[in-house]
Each structure stands twice: as structure tokens, then as C-alpha cells.
Structure 1
Amino acid sequence: MKLIHPLKATPTLLALSCACLPIAEAISQDDGVRGLEEIIVTAQKREQNLQDTPVAVTAFGQTDLENKGIGDIADIADFTPNLMFDKTAPLSGASSAAVLFIRGVGQSSFQVTDDPGVGTYVDGVYVGSSVGGVLDVIDVQRIEVLRGPQGTLFGRNTIGGAINVTTKRPADEHQGSFEVTAGNYNRINVRASTDIPLTENLKTKFTAGYKKADGWVDLVANSEAGNGTENHRSQKTPGDDNEGAARLAVLYTPTDELTFYVTADASRVREASAASTLLGVGKNANDPSFDEVDGFFNRAPGREDSEFSANHGILNLVYNTTQAATTDIPGYGTGVFYDDRWIPDNPARESFRTGVNGTDVDTTGFSTTVEWDLNDSISLKSITSFREVEATLNRDADGSPLTIVHCFTDFEHEQYSQELQLSGNSENLKWLAGLYYFKEDATDPYSCELPTGHLLLKATVENTSVAAFAQATYTFLDDFNITFGLRWTEDEKTMSPEFGLVESFDRPETLVPNLVDENGNQITYIEDKYDDVSPSFSIDYQVTEELLLYYSYKEGFKGGGFSSRTLVPRNDVLQFDPEELSTNEIGIKYEGFDRRLRVNAAAFLSEYEGIQGTQIEFIAPGTQNIGDSEIDGFELEVTALPTDNLMVNFTVAYLNHRFTHISEVSPLVSPDGFIQPTDQLTNTPEWSYTASFDYTIPVPSLNGELALRADYSHYSTVWNDDLNSTVLKQSPYGITNAQMAFMSDTGEWSFVIWGKNLTDEEYIVSGDDNIYAGFREANFGEPRTYGATLRRSF
């Protein structure tokens, strides 16, 4: 098994029920009755049947992931209610930076000082970095998506939910698999895995893979414009794949009571920058290219065009009035303004950008899990891990051959964690208690070349988190379970800022500091502590063998921090307070008609306080607390097996959000940049639904079967930034995927023909509307892709 960065699959929204395997593997046969296979999850850190778990969870098995064409964990959003998963963070330029939202709760920023609102865990290890956080799914045994706050068992930064990945451990016998994929855009993917037991008690697994594909954004600038020393366009067309990884797993069981599971993984990404493009250019009343008729500032109601916004586009103004007349642009000459000539005819598939380009990410990780059964009823588990990410990220934000905004970062992140769990069970009581320690060190030297000079925003952080937690479930009257949980967390965060202007990137000693205290001293260090107690409670009632009802109350916590993007002088560091979320949820889980129908549903009401969002000071987007809100909604997941050869799925998800309080923000934020009470949260569509089918046709003459699959998904309107830019607003749209597979009776090989986004839908997944700097950029979803995959096991 390995975990690497993304196979750029189309980020659609499907909201399928739990695991949906090929028909032959999605059904079981007990006493001659064929029905849906039992699904085991660990949402409460112990193995349970999905239908007996009082948590809103969607689960995927290994064969299920293959059958749905899921290449990385971002693709599970296609099949999970109220989950949004973008593969690039706004402003990052990274082709691999995880941005997750569940039920309207998440975080768009990739800054090292910001924490996610949805946590990702691999074999119990928290993945702390957004950069490099889009993991591959090779040899994954199971992925679970837990919706709602998971603060008691999973801890901080899971107020929206958690992605829980369990890897496939080494097998008892020598076996292996091989997979090759070819597709449009010259795609070639290769994966291989082998299990080698060295002794009866010592087993190993090694997995490796490589992905390569051309990009799908056409760079349309004149060829002469792409030959500058800072341009890296050679084989770097946006939207490409170029990455490889390897993973080693060792399982050692010296006794029946003691198990050691050790893993090591490494991955390497060498791709273009994120596939972003220019949507709009600001107009300034003092700008030679200003056209009063051409409106610039167009946002949601309450933010219509204004005199204030018409006098922004600072970087445009500086370039057009001071540099355009004398700057020679290869392929275009002099006197070339930064204006709407650089907006391509088809922004979803074209770009005029020629500047800095490239996403280089190197990731390594090590973990050791020790499980010790102290006696028949008490077990001890230890999870120790270390992960490191080194990345060079580039971004031509202006989307043109001009140098308006070119940004670079050499990102570094290290984390260490240690968790101890003591668990036990008796006839009526199951309990778990534990201690947790987490430490991370990171550096994010974000620098930009502007018409006004060279900007350096370097943040060095050191964060530690400690926690103690416990949860117990008591069974009474045979059919009732009551669960109580509690977690105490303390975060300590520090930042050493270096913000200001430099003469050049080669001479940072000429720094003109932006952070100077009231005594005139440069601010070089800041620290703060945040603590929280997160309780949870649930009660569930097994009405019949087929029907479970439950109610739960849960709280979650995400720490505060410091903004690492400050462009204007100030005498303090911009700080933000923690987020807190509490959720009341009721749910039902039903499985009947001889296990041929599974219906899971949940309805919830959340109180969301201290929301951390993006506000713009002058031209710098930074994190601030923007307000409080209420979020309510429901999720319905249906899986049915009408015949032994046909499986159908249907889901619908609903979200309703309303601000209950708008926070006071920094006085450096312009009034028309304030959050409005009518604004909607980022990545929070009101409605989403999907329908799909899997149908198998036996082919005895070829000793196999033909499997047909199709799915359709639909989003309602999605706002892609906190300020609800109408330019970044994505109107309702739908995505269609399909595949046809032939599988041998023995399961040793299969051949799949597949297609994604078959109607070639063009849709925005993220972006940045910086009216003050003077440009708007967006990242679009992938175009139509298709290909064939051959799998062989031995």
C-alpha cells in the first residue's frame, strides 16, 4: 500500500452510501440468502458493524475504491454527502494542497499558521500539512468519512469531521498485484505491490507507483513571452501529473498478544503549478486603461460597484502608470497595459500566464503501531509517527506575460506525534482512555515580485498540543447503549515573523520590517496558548434487528493562531481566536428485506462560533474571525440490491446556513470587504444529490463477467470564497461518469474502460478575488478524461 499525491480525478460531488463493491463482492450469502455485505468501521476506535455505529459515517473498501475509479482521497467527495475536497488551496499555486469541508466547516488557507477544520488520519496518525495532503489510495483497506465534530476521540481540528484511512497490512502468503492505466492527455499510470512473508511471525509489503500525464490548460501567450529566466514552462503545462512514491510495511507478531506494525513511505511530485487562470482585471480611475463603463467590483447583494472599489487595483495602477511605457514584453513590445486583454476566451481551459511555474513536493513518513493484549479484556496501543514535507511552490497570480504578481515559497513542515490508548470491554461496558502529544515545526517563506518591489512574508512556527481523553459505552436493557466522552486539549503556538520589503530575494538583509511595536522595536516572536474541553454524548436504541435509532451531542475545537500575511506596517501581530462547534444529531440506520436494502439518514443542527475566514488588509488576504453561525441539514444514503446482478444507489444532502453574529475585524480591512449577514459559507452548497447503478452480466464463454457502472452527481450553487465574489460563484452543475469492466471468474485480472466528466463540464473549484491588488483568478475542475486500466494479481 502507498499514500502519495493525487491522480487528478474529476472533483465532482456524489453522495453515495457506504461501500459499493462490484456486485459479486458487495453481497454475502448466509443460509442461502444473498444480501449486502457487512461493513466494518472503526469510527469509535474499535471495530463495529456500520449499521450498529451511532455516527454519520460513509465507508469505502479497497475493491470499492477501484470500482469507482478513485485515485486519491480527494475523489471520495464524489461519493460522500456534504463533503467537499479541493486539491489546491487558493493563493498557494500548489497542485497538491488539501482543502476539506464537511457540513460547511473547514479551512481554505494553506498557511502554516492555520489549522484545518477536517482532520485526515492514516492508521491513526494525523496528517498536519495541507501541502502534500492529497493522498493516494493504493492498498488502502478502508476509508471512513466521519461527519460532524469528532473532538473526543480524534481531537483538535476535527470540528467538521475526520477522514480515517486504514491501510492493508501484509498478507500471510506471498502475493502481488500490478496495474497499468493509459488515457487521454498521454496519461500513463503504473502501480505494483508485493507481499513477502519472511517468517511465520514477520511479514512485509512493498508498494510503488508512478503517474504521468500532460496538462490540460493551454498556455496561449506568444511563444517569445515564455523564455524568461524565471519561466519554467518546459513540460510544465498546468493540470499535468508527474509523481512517484514507494511504501514499505512490516508486520511482526512475536506472540499472539503482541503486534508491531511499522511503515515507511516517500513520495516525489514534480508538476506544474495549480491550473489557475485569470477571470478579471481591476480598473483604477487613475489608470490609463480605465474604462468607467467596465465595472470591476461585482459581488453578492450588498457589495455592488462602488466609488471605493473603482479606485482600487493598486498593483495594476503602479505597473500601468510607471512601468508599462518602458518595459519590453517579449512577443508584445512596450506600452503593454495590464488589462482585460489577458483574460482568455475560455478561462476554464486557457491562460496567458508565462511566469513562475512548478510544484515540487517531497514527503517522507514513518510510523510504528504497537498493540498489546494485556489480558482477555484490556489492551494497550501505542502509535508513534514522524512526517516531513518539503515543497517549492510557484504562482503567476496575474495570469499574464507581465510581472504584476509572481509568488514563490520554499515550504518545510515536520511533525512528530505519540498516542497511547488503553481500552477494555466487559459484558455491558466498553471503554477507551488515552494520552496524546503532537509537535510541529514549519517554515513558510512566501515571497512575491511586485511592480512596487520585492515582498517577503516569512513565518517560522513551532506548535505543540497535548491531550487526555476517555470514552465509555454502557449497554442496558439489551437494546440501549449510552456513551459518554470527554477530551482536554492544550495548544501552545509560537511564530517568528519576518514581514517586509527587500531589495531583492538575493539580499534579504535589506528588509524593511512591517511589524514594529509601539516602542519602535521590530517584532520577532509571539506565542499564545489555547485550551478546551470537548464532551460528547450519545444514546442509541436497537428497535429491531433491522433498525437502529440514535441521538448524539458532540463538541469540537480548533485552535487560534497568527496571520502570516501582513503587507502594511502595524504595531502588533494579527491574531485570531479558536473555533468551537457543537452539534445535535439524530439518525436512523436500517437494513432489511433480507439485507437487500440499506437506508442511513441523519439530521443535525450545529452552533459554529469564532469562524476563521479570509479578510483582506490592503492587498493581503489573512485569517481573522469573521462571525458565528447556525448550520442545519440532513443526509440520506440508500443502497439497494433489487436483483443479484443490479445495485442502485441514491443520496441527497441538504445544508442551510445563517450568520448569527458578525465579528469586528481589523480596521485595515476596507468597509466593502466586510462579511455581510446574508453571505454564505465557502464550499457549502445547499443541495447535492447523486444516482448511480452497477450491473453485472455473466459471460460464461469467457470465464468472467461484464460490469457496467454509471453515476450522475449534482451541486447547487457554491460560493468559492468567504467574501462571496460573484465571479467565483459556481452556478448549479452536474457531472456524469461511467465505466465498463471485464473481470475474470478467479478475480486474477480485470480490464476497465472508463470516462469521467463525460459532458466536459466547466466549473470553478476554488479561487481568489483580490479587488485591491487588481486581479481575479480561479482554479477549474478537470475536463473530460478517459482511458483504460488493466489489473493483474498473482
Structure 2
Amino acid sequence: MPVVTVTAQSRTQEIQNVPIAVQTLAGSALKDVGVVNLADLDAFVPGLSVEPLQSTRPIIFLRGVGTLDYGIGTDSPVGIFTDSVYVGKTGGSLLNFNDVKRIEVLKGPQGTLFGRNAAAGVISIVTNDPVERIEASGLVRVGTRGAVHTELLYNTPLAEGLALRISAIDQRDNGWVRNTFDGKRMGDDGERGVRATVRWRRDDSDAILGWEHGVMRVSGPPVFSLTGGKIDFGGPATWVDPRKQPLASDAVPNAQSRTFDGLTLRVTTPLRHATLSSITAYRHFNTQNWQDNDGSVNPAAYIGIGNVESNSTWQQEFKLSGQTGALDWVGGVSAYRERATQTQHVDLTTLSLDTLIRHAAGSAPYATLTSLAQGIGRATGNAALQGLSLAGLPWRESIHDKGEYRAYAVYGDLLWHLDPVTNLTVGGRFTHDDKRFSWYNPPRIASELDARLAVMQQAQLFPTAVALKLLTPQQAASLQAVVARNVEFNNAVASTRPFPASRSWNNFSPRIVLDRHLTPDHMVYGSWSKGYLAGGFDSLGVNGYYDEELVTNTEIGIKGRVRALGLSYDASIFHYAYTNLQSLTLVPSNAGAGVPSYQVVNSDQRATGAELGAQWTLNRIWRLNGALAYLDQTYAHYVSPGGVRLDGQPAGAPRLSASAGASARWPLWNGTADFNVMLGYMGERRCNADTRAQGTCNPGGSVDTGAAREKVDVRLGWSAPSGNWGVGMVVTNFTNRQYVAISTLGSVVGSPYSYVTKPRTIALELRGRL
């Protein structure tokens, strides 16, 4: 039976001895079936949900806990770490896997050892370190829709105790859907990356210096109309299945990009009675995301949104670990600094502004002014006014955010061997967070409109309309104000200069774990832990902030193996109470301004769940694995922005999710054949009164959003007798299922839209190695 080791507790341990609900996936197995990043992974980890609706801003939930806020003012409660370095929730979180050894998914609060961004759990990505032997390998896959996937690896010793490892990956295809607006294909892949690592070992000291670089250039996310391309304010009852609609996207620009660089130094050295470890890391990325937000080419519904972000982080951690008699201990200090800028743009036209304002407030200012100008022009003989039109002119609003954050922590974790079969673990982390933020929403940019408004002013349009009693003085003043002021980002205190704010938080997050080996191969455990996520700021709402989030989790579990059967298993049940979970929610219309607005909302949630996993080495050929998760998650206290009280109603996470896999290797044609299949299932989302009314959750409806999902990835391959080369076929999304996720942002102009997942991909593979 293979032994799996993990570092979930900042110690190298066999997974069956770790009293945490943790699921591991081998990097080689993921590569075999074409899993290239976290977005492909979630189907095979019950309880994990990753929505890559935008390549630079994925939405990640674990055990039903996550955030919909994509601004730089907050973090996610699901911590993502690569080689123990925090990579954040945006630009660094969805990089393609490059030379990955394994992935550990730790469920439940992990704040004591991983920090403040682990209130819901942790996804820990562990890469391969250099070794002192020559290794060289390559892989090329060529598939449908022009897909080409390439991986290269070279590892070599440079001197005694010194080794170099370089790996590169490139993935691209032509896109899976054609845009009827311009004939270009969308939904494409276009990402490449390189990792170079040097390892120096002397005596018991170990130093690893690594650099990672990644570039992504793809089209904007394809979005599909829910109204057949028409302006329709009828709501979910009139929506049509977007999978049966053509893609029609007229946003300009319409693209996504990311450039990422990371530098990490990990040093481990023995002291007299302990081991000292140091991690120093720097990360920087630039991202852009421009996309259509109405899903149509109707100029009266035009909305385009752009997000431009730059982020730099520096991290330093020192850790001491050792054993003293019956005590196995870990302690450390860490410092974290982040500087981030974000500019969010909203592009509209005077036609779409008329649609929005007419629906919300009953007036169409630009159509009204066009009619007045042309009418007065004809009546007065003013040629400049006769031909004047304000229809279809571009309008852009922007909000510029800057954030500077510091976090400091001290932590300790003590494992006490009470007797040969019983362990007590006690740990805690004290964290101080300090955040500074600023907002700046300058006046809208509409140069063509301003030029035509100047013509109106020069022609004395408004005094003339009042004199002719076509407008009252109040109506004239109102029209002049509407066309001059911002619609979306309109806070006066941040319109002339950045508006600053700062806040700080302190927290202590403890954990207590008791585990006991019933036999050498079977262990039971119970744990109580608390988690914390620092507060933050609403990137779209000036002077809006989030309070800290707190979670308390109680869990009991059992792990073991039956050696005679080649079977290992784990099972747990848990209950958590999550306080002040924050999210950013779109309120389609604001009664005062008649325009959509984002608002910070908070809720208290609670959940009870159970998880079961098993791995079975059936014989020399077959290995099987499976996992099952049950979750009953509800709101303890929550009133939606629409005023609906949802206490006791489901928060949205499905009750059931599951995964299963099978792999086999057997002799064939003097070589070795291999087969691998991974199946993932996520049950229906549990809707509540608010999500049903919005249409964002409606399994069985005309759009079927929130329906149960399944994913099947398959590989069939053969390796030559020498083992130096092989061929294979990889099928991703074997059953060719496509699913829908709804965005209601376009509803403000009667044009809601949706995202649709990718169809099946079939690729042929050639591998080689020295």
C-alpha cells in the first residue's frame, strides 16, 4: 500500500496520522487526465467550488464558505498557498500547474498554522524540488479546436550538493465558440509559464531559490444573452436557455491578460535543539479583464466593464520546530506586506443610459434632449441644432483604488504525546492587521457628448426650451445635471481627490485536537478550532468597509487502513458557525439614482456536514478512490439587499458532492498500458427566496442554473518497453456537459447574461524522457 505524506501541520507526516480533514491529489495523476489548474480540480474535491468566470478573478468556496467580492480591498477565506507562500485570491490563484508534486486541500479553519486567510480552509500546492540526478522529459498534446499543450522539464546536478530544475508549460487553443459580432472565436486558452529552481544542500542545511514567471493572453469571457439579444425586463420567467443562443458580444476592448512573477527563498538549517526554517517571498502581477456585460449586440443595452489591477506582495516567515521528550512543537513569526492598485471602468453609451434611466426612473434624458434640439433647431432655423443627436455616444466612468496592507503574526503549535497512542495538540496564532485604502472616482469621460452639449449651450437650448414652455425651469436644471454627473461612481467626497481610510484588527485563533490510535492502523480524533479573516474595504463603495469574519468549527473523525485489503479510509463530521461573512452584492436599481449599485452585505451562517473518503489498491493492476461530502448550510441571520429575511434558509451550497476515480496499469505489447478516469459530481444548489427571485438559482427552470454538475476526465495510454516514450489519448469533459452561471448585472438595461462552461476536448499525446 503506498504511503502518502503531507505537510498539513507544518510537519512532514503520513496522511493517516494527521487529525485534519485533508484530501490529497498527486500532480502526476492530475496531469494524466488534463487537469491544468484549480478550475479543473474542483470537480474532484467534494466540498470545493471554483468558478473561473473570469480568468483573473476566480470565485472559490470550500465547505460552502467563500466570497463574491473581487476587489482589492478584501481577501478570500479560502487560503491558496504554493510551497507555503500565500498567493492571494486574484492574479496569482489560477496559474496553470507547473511541475506540481501534490495538492493538499485542508478543510475547516487552518488559521493557527496558515494564517488569517484560512478561515474556511486551505489549498496547498506543493511543487517538485531539484534533485541531484539528471532528469529530462517532455509532453505534447494536440487536440480539438486547435488545442496544443506542451510541458518540458530538465533537472541536473551542477556540483556536489547543488542542483538546478527548470520546467515550462504552454497551453493554447483557438476557442470553443464564435462571436457573431466580429467572427472571432472566444473561450480560448493562451497561457505559458516557466519555473526555475536551484537547490543547495550541505550537511543538514537546505536552501532552495525559485523563480516563477507566467503570461496569459486570451479573449474576454464569452457571455450569452438570457433574453435572446432583446431588451426584456420580464425577469427569469422570460429567460431562454443560453446554450441554445449564439454568442453576440460587442464590447471593445474584450480581452483578459495576466503577467505574473514570483521569487521564493526557502532555507532550512539545524540548530542544537531545533530546526530553523525561513521563507522569503516576493510576488508581483499585472492583470486586465475587459468584457461584455449585456450579452448582446443591441446598442441600447451596451455595458462593458474593465478591471485593471497591479499587485505586489512581500512575505517573511521564520519557523522553529523540534522535539523535546514527549513534545513535538512548531513556533514562528511572520510578516506580510501588500501594495495593490485597481481601476474599474464601466463603459456605456447614451442609448444604454436612456434604457437604464427610463426603466428605473421613467425618463430618457438623451432622447429627450435630441428631440428638443432638433425641434427647436427647425423652429428657429438653427442648422447646428437641426442635425444634432445625442444617441449612441460613448460614456466611461472609473474608480481608482489603492491599498497598502501589513500583517504580523506569532504562532505556536504543540503536539503532546500523552501516551504511546494518544496525542493532544494545542496551538494558536495572534495576528495584527493594518490596512490603508483610498478611492477616487473622477468625473465621467464623454468627450463626444460634451462637444455636442457645448453646441446646445451655445445655442441657448435650455433657456429657449423654458421660454417656449417645453420645459419647466426645474426640468431644465434636472436634465443639465443628469447629463453632466456620474451615474455609477458618484460619491462627491472622492470626485476631486482620493478619499483615504484606514483600519486595523487584532485576533487570536486557537485550536485544540485530541487523537488516539485505537490500533496501529486506526485513529480517531476530535478538534475545536477558530478561524479569522481580517476586515477590509469595499472597492466600489467609497468609505465602505468590512468588519472581521470569525468562524468556530468542531469536528470529529476517524482514519485508518486495512492492510490486508489494501484499503485506507477517512471520515469526519463537523459543525461550524460563521459570523459576519461578507460579500459584495449587486442591487439592480437604487431608488435614489435609478442606477445599479454594489453593496456590502454580511450574514451569519451555520452548517453541519459529513465527509467520507477511501482509497483501495485492488490488485497489482487496479487502484480505486472515492470521496463523498454532505453539507447542510443555512443562514443564521441575513436580510438580502432586496429586504428578504432569509434566516433559516439555505445559503446556496449543494447538499451532496462526490468524486470517484480508477487507475490501472498492465503489460501490453511488451510495454505498459495505463488507464485513468476521474469522475466528479456536485449536487443541485440549494435555492432560497432571494436567489430564486433573481434567477441565479433555479434548477429545473428554463435556464437550469444551479443544476447538478458532473465532470468525467479520461486517459488511455501506452508506454514503450524502454519506458522512455509513450502515447496516449486524453478526453476532458468526456460526457460533454455544459453548465450555466448567471450574472444579473445586465438586468439594469434589460439584458441579463450568463457564462457557459467549456465543451469536451479530445487530445492525442506524445511523451518522452531520458
Superposition TM-score, scaled by structure 1 size = 0.80
Equivalent residue, structure 1, for 2:50: 85
Match of 2:80 among 120, 127, 151: 120
Is the aligned partner of 1:694 residue 2:663?
yes
Query: How much does 1:658 deviate?
Result: 1.5
User: Could you tell me how far 1:587 is from its partner in structure 2?
Assistant: 0.7
- 5 Å-filtered alignment, 1:294-313, equals 295-296=234-235
- Which residue is 1:712 aligned to? 679
- C-alpha separation between the residues in 2 aligned to 1:384 and 1:545? 38
Secondary structure of the corresponding residue to residue 594 of structure 1: helix
Q: 2:398 aligns with which of 456, 460, 478?
A: 456
Q: Which residue of 2 aligns with 1:398?
A: 294
Question: Within 2, Cα distance between the matches of 1:511 and 1:176?
Answer: 61
Q: 1:539 to 1:121 in 2, by over 3 A?
A: same
Aligned-CA RMSD value: 2.7
* Partner Cα distance (1:558, 1:184) in 2: 43
SS in 2 for 1:54: coil
Moved more, 263-272 or 609-618: 609-618
Structure ID, larger Rg: 2
Q: 1:430–1:744: structure 2 CA closer, same or farther, 3 Å change rule?
A: farther
The 3 A distance-change label for structure 1 pair 357 and 679 is farther
Cα deviation for residue 677 of structure 1 reads 2.9
Contact 1:687 1:716 in 2 (8 A): yes
Matched residue, 2:132: 172
**Which residue of structure 2 aligns with residue 371 of structure 1?**
268
Q: Is the 8 Å Cα contact of residues 33 and 731 (structure 2) preserved in structure 1?
A: no
What's the CA shift for 1:622? 3.4
| Structure 1 residue 99, shift from structure 2 partner | 2.2
Give CA-to-partner distance per residue, 1:429-455, whole Å, 9 cap, x none.
111111111111111110111234321
8 Å CA contact retained: 1:565, 1:620: no
Instruction: Indicate the larger mover: 418-427 or 181-190.
Output: 418-427
Distance in 2 of aligned mates of 1:207 and 1:785:
24
Give the Cα separation in 1 of the matches to 2:210 and 2:152: 17
Letter in 1 for 2:551: L
Does the 8 Å contact 2:432/2:506 carry over to 1?
A: yes
Kept in 1: contact 2:261–2:284 (CA 8 A)? yes
Contact 1:344/1:351, CA 8 A, preserved across alignment: no
Where do residues 331-342 of structure 1 align in structure 2 (5 Å cutoff)?
none
Deviation at residue 670 of structure 1 after TM alignment:
4.4
Change in 2 beyond 3 A, CA 1:432/1:636: same
Change (3 A) 1:148 1:717: same
1:442 lines up with 2:390 in the alignment: no
SS of equivalent to 2:226: strand
Structure 1 residues 540 and 623, CA gap change in structure 2 (3 angstroms): farther
How far 1:103 sits from its partner (Å)? 0.4
Q: Is the 8 A contact 2:45 2:659 kept in 1?
A: no
Q: 1:681 to 1:600 in 2, by over 3 A?
A: same
Residue by residue, what CA displacement relative to the aligned partner does 1:114-157 show, whole Å, maximum 9, x if unpaired? Answer: 21111111111100241342122221122111011100000011
Deviations 1:328-354 (Å, cap 9, x if unpaired)? xxxxxxxxxxxx9xx887437731112
In structure 1, C-alpha distance between the alignment counterparts of 2:169 and 2:521, rounded to whole Å: 42
| Cα distance in 1 between the residues matched to 2:447 and 2:344 | 11
Q: Does 1:62 align with 2:31?
A: no
Query: In the superposition, relative to structure 1, how do residues 538 and 595 fare at CA in structure 2: closer, same or farther (>3 Å)?
Result: farther
CA gap of 1:257–1:696, structure 2 versus 1, over 3 A, is closer
- 1:238–1:472 distance in 2 versus 1, CA, 3 Å: same
Q: Is the 8 A contact 2:274 2:321 kept in 1?
A: yes
The one-letter code matched in structure 2 to 1:40 is T
Structure 1 residues 523 and 363: alpha-carbon distance in aligned structure 2, compared to 1, 3 A threshold: closer
Q: 1:535 aligns with which of 501, 510, 514?
A: 510
From 381, 386, 390, give the equivalent of 2:277: 381
Give the TM-score taking structure 2 as reference length: 0.82
1:318 paired residue number:
none
> Higher helix proportion, which one?
2
Q: State the 1:257 CA deviation.
A: 2.8
Question: How far apart are 1:399 and its partner, in Å?
Answer: 1.4
Kept after mapping to 2: 8 A contact 1:103/1:147: yes
- What's the CA shift for 1:625? 3.6
Q: Which moved more, 1:620-629 or 1:555-564?
A: 620-629
Over 3 Å counting, the alpha-carbon distance change for 1:162 and 1:344 in structure 2 is: same
**Is structure 2 residue 208 aligned with structure 1 residue 248?**
no
Question: Residue 348 of structure 1 contacts residue 762 of structure 1 at CA under 8 Å; is this kept in 2?
Answer: no
User: Following TM superposition, by how much is the alpha carbon of 1:779 offset from its aligned partner in structure 2, in angstroms?
Assistant: 1.8
Task: Indicate how the Cα distance of structure 1 residues 767 and 196 shifts in structure 2: closer, same or farther if over 3 A, else same.
Answer: farther
| 563, 579, 582: which one aligns with 1:612 | 582
Letter in 2 for 1:357: N
Could you tell me whether the CA contact under 8 Å between 2:511 and 2:527 is conserved in 1?
A: yes
- Give the 3 Å change call, closer, same or farther, for CA 61–736 of structure 1 in structure 2: closer
Cα offsets for 1:442-481 (capped at 9, x unmatched): 1111011123432112211111111111110000221000
Gaps of 5+ in 2: 354-394, 451-483, 698-704
Structure 1: which amino acid aligns with 2:147? R
Aligned residue for 1:573, secondary structure, equals coil
Contact 1:579 1:611 in 2 (8 A): yes
Q: CA deviation at 1:269?
A: 0.8
CA distance 1:473–1:393, change in 2 (3 Å) = same
Q: 2: distance between equivalents of 1:505 and 1:580?
A: 48
- Cα distance 1:114–1:188, how it changes in 2: closer, same or farther (>3 A)? same
CA contact (8 A) 1:515 1:523 kept: no
Counterpart of 2:5 (choices 40, 45, 49) is 40
Separation (CA, whole Å) in 2 of partners of 1:61 and 1:736:
17
Counterpart of 1:104? Answer: 64
Which residue type is aligned with residue 671 of structure 2?
Answer: G
Which of residues 258, 263, 266 is equivalent to 1:361?
A: 258
SS of equivalent residue, structure 1 residue 350? coil
The question of whether the paired residues in 1 share the 8 Å contact of 2:515 and 2:525 is answered with yes
| Aligned residue number for residue 434 of structure 2 | 492
2:390 corresponding residue in structure 1: none
Q: Is the 8 A contact 2:719 2:725 kept in 1?
A: yes
Question: Which residue does 2:41 correspond to in 1?
Answer: 76
TM-superposed CA distance for 1:750, in Å, is 2.8
**Whole-angstrom distance in 2 between the partners of 1:348 and 1:119:** 37
Q: Give the Å deviation of 1:506.
A: 11
The CA deviation at 1:388 is 0.6
Q: Report % sequence identity.
A: 24
Distance 2:626 2:48 in 1: 16
Q: Secondary structure at the match of 1:685?
A: coil
What is the SS of the residue equivalent to 2:112? coil
Which amino acid letter does the alignment assign opposite residue 427 of structure 2?
G
SS at match of 2:10: coil
Contact 1:631/1:655 (8 A) holds in 2: yes
CA distance, structure 1, for counterparts of residue 553 and residue 567 of structure 2 = 28
Of 605, 612, 626 in structure 2, the residue corresponding to residue 636 of structure 1 is 612
1:662: Cα distance to partner?
1.8
Once the two structures are superposed, residues 475-528 of structure 1 have per-residue CA deviations (whole angstroms, 9 ceiling, x without a partner) of 0221000000111111111111012541349999x986733459x996611111
User: What is the CA–CA distance in structure 2 between the aligned matches of 1:348 and 1:110, rounded to whole Å?
Assistant: 29
Secondary structure class of the residue paired with 1:351: coil
Unaligned regions of 5+ residues in structure 1, if any? Answer: 1-35, 89-93, 227-232, 284-288, 299-339, 567-571
